[in-house]
Amino acid sequence: MDIVSAVTIAVALIILTAIVTIILWLQRDTNAQYDLPLGEVFYAPSDSKTRVASTMALKGIYRQLKSVSKPSESKPLKRRIDHLRAVMDQLRTHIPLASTISPTNAGGVPAEWVIAPGADPSRRLLYIHGGGFVAGSPTSHRIITSKLSEITNSAVLAIDYRLSPEHKREACIEDCRSAYDWLLANGPENESAASAVYVAGDSAGGNLTLSLLAWARDTQRRAPNAAVALSPVTDMRMINPSIKANLNTDVMLKPMAKKLAKIPRWLMVSAGTFMVPYKATDPDISPLLGKLHDLPPLLIQASDCEILLDDGRRYANKARAAGSNVTLQLWSGMPHVWQLFHPELQAAQEAFDQIEQFIARYP
């Protein structure tokens, strides 16, 4: 073998070794240590009559979700997104609300005040809706915001933050921060300091809620008295085990999960680090990957059969390990953000009861 051939083989072996090493490094799961403890689990009701009623209600909701027609994937992306947004806004509008709804401008961010009868306007809650960062609005989540106003005795500011793909991922983070600053100094009636402040959000909005908490801490702003995250996305690399483990049990997010489950972990990590238009490893984007000390009291609720189970569980356990006061509650057999299906689901009322008790501890 001549020298040139030997050098070529040596270089090829070095490159191959480097590739294998990188793939193994990308496949490691550095957050597996936060899979335990499991958190408090709420099982199906033991009373047979109540259990049957809950099961029937859940089946009805599943039928409703499946009956929502979706446009063909051959349709242009904009038409598919417009369809999703319209469906989300109309899905729960048939449920009557006791709260008054008033549009406002929250420091440059379109928003609405949702105020239950008798709610104290000096007590304020910023609500950040879900929808995968591409859909959702204050309208789509009025079931939740109206109920939160009632049980927390506060005026809820639901913001209409900028969505993708029309805007960069960072835009929604900026809108949440602007609205939070505005909320601290403005109520539904006039400019005035808040007597108590809370933040809550679901799914993508839960992600933005957790990002906001760390930002308020790091910029020495007034911290919320407490916060609530419903089925939050905490790791935008989308590599936590439940994404595959709960693939067949998550009715709402299964279409997205089926595509993600086919992608190797190392490729997902690479995409989240180098290929997407935002840096998925940035703690502002993936709160799980940030420093979780000195956070305000936080309640996380999730379902044991949704793909985002481990996002919430790992965040809660990592935050507790860092010394923060975090409560993790899991419901059995519920769809993603089942709180939206109040009052049909008893589990939704149970979840709101737990939120009410939690918020009451931090007036």
| Phi, psi for residue 321 in degrees, rounded to 5 | -65, -25
Distance CA 363, CA 195 (A): 9
Which has more confidence, 1 or 329? 329
Distance CA 79, CA 77 (A): 5
* Residue 165 reports pLDDT greater than 70: yes
| Phi, psi for residue 105 in degrees, rounded to 5 | -120, 115
Which has more confidence, 263 or 287? 287
CB 121 within 8 A of CB 325: no
And the tokens for 357?
């008790």
* Residue 103 reports pLDDT greater than 50: yes
Q: At what angle do helices 169-185 and 204-218 cross, to 10 degrees?
A: 60
Please, which residues bridge with residue 177 across strands?
none
Confidence of residue 272 (pLDDT cuts 50, 70, 90): very low
- What pLDDT score was predicted for residue 47? 58
Question: What digits encode the pLDDT tens for the residues 1-18?
Answer: 567 666 666 666 676 655
User: DSSP label at 186?
Assistant: B
How buried is residue 363: exposed, middle or buried, by Cβ count under 10 Å (0-12/13-18/19+)?
A: exposed
CB 303 within 8 A of CB 333: yes
Confidence of residue 270 (pLDDT cuts 50, 70, 90): very low
Compute CA distances 62 → 56, 207, 308, whole Å. 10, 25, 18
- What pLDDT score was predicted for residue 257? 55
* Residue 112 reports pLDDT greater than 90: yes
Which percentage of the chain shows pLDDT scores above 90? 64
Distance CA 337, CA 351 (A): 10
Distance CA 339, CA 297 (A): 20
* Residue 274 reports pLDDT greater than 60: no
* Residue 76 reports pLDDT greater than 70: yes
- What pLDDT score was predicted for residue 54? 76
- What pLDDT score was predicted for residue 305? 93
Compute CA distances 219 → 127, 182, 193, 213, 290, whole Å. 21, 15, 19, 10, 15
* Residue 222 reports pLDDT greater than 50: yes
* Residue 268 reports pLDDT greater than 60: no
Which has more confidence, 19 or 118? 118
* Residue 322 reports pLDDT greater than 90: yes
For residues 127, 132, 133, 139, the Cα torsion angle rounded to the nearest 10 degrees is -50
| Residues whose CB falls within 8 Å of the CB of residue 204, separated by 6 or more in sequence, listed in order | 129, 130, 131, 132, 133, 136, 233
- What pLDDT score was predicted for residue 126? 99
Residues marked as catalytic: 203, 306, 336
Confidence of residue 59 (pLDDT cuts 50, 70, 90): confident
Look at phi and psi of residue 335 and say left if phi exceeds 0, alpha if psi is from -120 to 50, else beta: beta
Q: Which residue, 184, 186, 178, 187, is CA-closest to 225?
A: 184
Q: Is residue 184 helix, strand or coil?
A: helix
Q: Cis (ω within 30 of 0) for the bond into 121?
A: no
Confidence of residue 29 (pLDDT cuts 50, 70, 90): confident
CB 268 within 8 A of CB 204: no
Mean pLDDT (whole number) for 273-295: 85
Q: Which helix (H) or strand (E) holds 128?
A: strand 120-128
In terms of average pLDDT, the best of 210-219, 237-246, 328-337 is 210-219
Confidence of residue 266 (pLDDT cuts 50, 70, 90): very low
- What pLDDT score was predicted for residue 163? 97
CB 262 within 8 A of CB 291: no
- What pLDDT score was predicted for residue 280? 87
Which has more confidence, 332 or 13? 332
- What pLDDT score was predicted for residue 37? 79
- What pLDDT score was predicted for residue 25? 45
The one-letter code for the residue type at 3 is: I
- What pLDDT score was predicted for residue 22? 46
CB 358 within 8 A of CB 327: yes
Mean pLDDT value across the chain: 87
Question: What digits encode the pLDDT tens for the residues 172-204?
Answer: 999 999 999 999 999 999 999 999 999 999 999
Mean pLDDT (whole number) for 98-111: 97
| Residues whose CB falls within 8 Å of the CB of residue 357, separated by 6 or more in sequence, listed in order | none
In this structure, are strands 109-115 and 154-159 parallel, antiparallel, or unpaired? antiparallel
Distance CA 190, CA 177 (A): 20
